[in-house]
């Protein structure tokens, strides 16, 4: 697509080329998209293979996003949206550091995958959203390896031990439970931004993409601490856009909807998936590789002006 959608092409030519290529690709991959979004593929290996096919659909002929040799940190990237985002940046030639909290071997596997995908270099680091020192250490590891940080994707999340459908009444949720969830899912991202800013300010360039959730604006019973943390992240991002814009640093939020991550495939029943899919305009749920193109764009040099925005990547679900 790079040769067809060059900056010299007219808007009409570019639109026609994009439409033609998208239609051609969707025709071949629609059955796989539908099966994956409904969770009807077999084991995890089958689903990983299907997601790889879908990734090739989205990134087979990529535009030049100006990410070659850029340094990107993607937190919480051993699976799901974080892993898909890390792969997307790697395909664009970025140097990618991913973080993990529980599974170092899974992180090693993703690092190998990123190198095979085109990243000139990739690495992993431990990061716990509840530990400011671990956040600082992860950022320091990227700077020690590559000299600076260009892009931060705040994707890591700390889940509660009780799902929203099993949560007690709001007034019965104890502070010992909700405070760590709120602090990790808001203050952890706050700390990561603080850690990367000196490097970004020094270079006069930076991109911050905070991954949120539709729950932040739509709400969901039983999700009070998580929803509050994500909503706080929205306010922070809009404030940072105004504060950091003069320094050449852009900050945005991406709000996925109900996405078919490994976690959701493991925890959500088929009937719940079908109900959620039926509520979307496209009548199916997105897989991670469909969510992350907007993340990659916002974190790239091609994004020269979008900042302070809260953008859904959800197949139209609200």
pLDDT of residue 255: 82
Mean pLDDT of 245-259: 89
Contacts of 168 by beta carbon, 8 Å cutoff, 6+ apart: 162
Give one DSSP letter per residue of 300-318, joined into a string: STT-SS--S-EEEESTT--
What structural domains does the chain harbor? 64-313 (3.40.50.720)
Mean pLDDT of 81-110: 96
As a whole number of Å, the CA-based R_g of the chain is 19
pLDDT over threshold 70, residue 52: no
Confidence bin at 17 (pLDDT 50/70/90): very low
First-residue to last-residue Cα distance in the chain: 31
- Report the C-alpha gap between 73 and 84 in whole angstroms: 13
Q: Is there a catalytic annotation at residue 226? A: yes
pLDDT over threshold 80, residue 285: no
- Report the C-alpha gap between 182 and 203 in whole angstroms: 32
Question: Of residues 96 and 21, which shows the higher confidence score?
Answer: 96
pLDDT of residue 259: 63
Question: Of residues 6 and 273, which shows the higher confidence score?
Answer: 273
The whole-model pTM stands at: 0.77
**Per the residue annotation, which of 59, 100, 190, 226 is the catalytic one?**
226
- CA-nearest of 300, 294, 318, 298 to 308 is 298
């Amino acid at each position: 697509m790079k040769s067809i959608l060059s900056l010299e092409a007219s808007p009409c030519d570019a639109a026609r080329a994009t439409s033609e290529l998208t239609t051609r690709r969707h025709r071949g991959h629609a059955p796989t998209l539908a099966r994956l979004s409904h969770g009807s593929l077999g084991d995890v290996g089958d689903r990983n293979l299907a997601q790889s096919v879908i990734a090739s659909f989205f990134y087979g002929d990529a535009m030049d996003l100006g990410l070659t040799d850029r340094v990107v940190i993607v937190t919480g990237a051993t699976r799901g949206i974080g892993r898909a985002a890390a792969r997307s940046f790697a395909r664009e030639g970025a140097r990618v550091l991913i973080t993990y909290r529980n599974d170092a071997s899974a992180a090693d596997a993703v690092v190998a995958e990123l190198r095979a995908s085109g990243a000139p270099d990739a690495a992993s680091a431990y990061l716990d959203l509840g530990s400011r020192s671990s956040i600082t250490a992860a950022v320091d590891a990227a700077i020690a390896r590559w000299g600076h940080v260009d892009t931060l994707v705040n994707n890591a999340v700390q889940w509660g031990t009780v799902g929203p459908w099993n949560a007690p009444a709001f007034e019965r949720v104890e502070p010992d439970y909700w405070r760590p969830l709120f602090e990790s899912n808001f203050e952890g991202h706050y700390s990561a931004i603080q850690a990367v800013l000196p490097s970004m300010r020094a270079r006069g360039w930076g991109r911050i993409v905070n991954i949120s959730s539709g729950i932040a604006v739509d709400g969901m019973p039983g999700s009070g601490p998580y929803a509050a943390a994500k909503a706080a992240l929205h306010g922070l991002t809009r404030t940072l856009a105004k504060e950091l814009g003069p320094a050449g640093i852009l900050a945005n939020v991406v709000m996925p909807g109900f996405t078919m991550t490994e976690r959701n495939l493991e925890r959500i029943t088929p009937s719940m998936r079908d109900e959620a899919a039926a509520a979307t305009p496209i009548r199916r749920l997105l897989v991670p590789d469909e969510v992350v193109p907007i993340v990659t764009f916002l974190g790239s040099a091609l994004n020269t002006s979008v900042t302070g925005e809260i953008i859904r990547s959800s197949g139209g679900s609200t």
